[in-house]
Amino acid sequence: MEKFLAENGDASIRDILKENDVDDLEVLASMTESDFEKLGIISFGKRRKLVLAIQKLKSIGQNHEPSEQQQGPCDVPVALAYEDAAGDGPSLPDAKRKSNIDLREALSNTFEGKVLCKHLDNGQTLSSKQRIMLVKIAVACLVEKYGLWPPSEQKTLLAKNIVNTWPSTKDTTPMMAGHIDWMKFSPPNPTTMKKHITYFKETFHYRRAFIANLDHSVTDVLDVFPRVQDVDALIAIDFSMMHGDLTADTFISKWSSFREKVMQVGRKEENVTQLVERFKMLTDVDTVCSRVDAVRYLFYNVPEGTHVEGAIEEIKEKGYRQPLIVTIGPPMKPTQFWICLDHIPVPGGSSVVESFDKLFKSFFVFGLDYPPVLMNFYEYFAAFVYEVSNASAVKPLVRTFASSVKAVE
């Protein structure tokens, strides 16, 4: 334990874990990034480093386990084996065999577990939080009885018995076959990445219907699909499935030539002045802002060394409208890029261009409205750069600017 933390943590992390009685590798290996955050490890980078180190530790341990356990440690919660429990996976030699873990007894040991058990006994479906609790208790039981690498048979047996005891736990989402839960609780790594992307595409229509429900916020969407936060391609995948594959890298591929044309138009001061004056005449004066103010609707910069969580807190305090791009480092040459969605940081990429591409697509993917002061700005990109909206529907001012850019040789 000490050696592991010396290589993958620091004194502050060791103190936090010690204060919370996390004193052996087996307990540590059962923890998730959310667990580390609840303990007060604020730095996103430190949490991710711990999670990746734990995954590596499990992989090393897995390679030294007997063949019966070669399918891996208990890093995929047992309740995610619903597709097997529903009869879609391979059946066991003895279909009547039961898990020797009494999950009902484990639930009765805590007040929250008793409430959950009563909820299940009444045949009610689980909320996201309740499902997480059930999974955590089930995994804890397996780890306590069998250690870090429970036999795969026992994981499957427990999953089957959960569904047989409480049928309401079965994933009945049409055509999903447990995909949503699997993505939610399975950390992405080189081995699982292909499956994550496949399942994400297959849940597209479910996700669109979920997002279309106005009662759901971005936070709700990310709670059901948290992999959007750590699998870089998912927002682009949703956007391309909404508008066609040709839109996937439209902005990034056009950026170099587009940037030069816009700069040439910007150098013609007379045209710019005329456009601004026309804009003031055609638009409610309350929605007109300076170039500096407009940039603030797009970017929020913090100094090098600031954790992204600290930047998010500043955005909360100042009441900045989201989504926007958070940059860390020198304003003209930042080193980190994030998208702030409902006060949740999502990696933005390796450059301002990649970050703006993800920012723009986020409005469509999460069903968000453009900030009023940047309505023309975003409508221009939607109609004339990404070409995902009707150019004839935008304001004459926007079409005039688009014509000026297009006319540049």
- Report yes or no: 292 and 284 within 8 Å, Cβ to Cβ: no
CB atoms within 10 A of CB 133: 18
- Residue 118, both tokens: 């009563």
Q: What is the pLDDT of residue 88?
A: 36
Whole-number Å distance between alpha carbons of 210 and 176: 14
Whole-number Å distance between alpha carbons of 228 and 215: 20
Distances 29 to 22, 147, 150, 231, 373 between C-alpha atoms, Å: 10, 11, 13, 22, 48
Q: What is the pLDDT of residue 337?
A: 93
- Calculate the CA dihedral of residues 199, 252, 222, 182 and round it to 10 degrees: 20
Phi and psi, residue 341, nearest 5°: -120, 110
CA-angle at 358, arms to 352 and 360, nearest 5°: 100
Distances 88 to 120, 163, 370 between C-alpha atoms, Å: 23, 13, 44
pTM flag (> 0.85):
no
Q: What is the pLDDT of residue 328?
A: 94
Beta strand 324-328 pairing with 299-302:
parallel
Whole-number Å distance between alpha carbons of 290 and 283: 14
Phi and psi, residue 83, nearest 5°: -65, -35
Query: Taking Cα atoms as reference points, which of 282, 268, 319, 269 lies closest to residue 397?
Result: 282
User: Over the chain (409 residues), what is each successive 10-residue block's mean pLDDT?
Assistant: 67 78 74 77 74 66 40 38 36 49 83 84 72 80 77 76 78 64 85 91 86 78 89 90 70 69 63 48 44 72 91 88 89 91 90 90 90 85 86 85 77
Residue written as tokens 């039961």? 98
Q: What is the pLDDT of residue 69?
A: 36
Domain ranges of the chain: 2-173, 251-407
Q: What is the pLDDT of residue 97?
A: 53
List the strands of the sheet with 344-347, edge to edge.
299-302, 324-328, 336-341, 344-347
Q: What is the pLDDT of residue 62?
A: 43
Q: What is the pLDDT of residue 113?
A: 83
Phi and psi, residue 269, nearest 5°: -60, -35
Give strand pairing partners of 344: 341
Q: What is the pLDDT of residue 340?
A: 92
DSSP codes joined into one string, 329-376: S-TTS-SEEEEEETTEEEE--SSHHHHHHHHHHHHHHTTPPPPGGGHH
DSSP codes joined into one string, 5-19: HHHH--HHHHHHHHH
The number of helix segments (H) and strand segments (E) in the chain equals 22, 4
Q: What is the pLDDT of residue 38?
A: 77
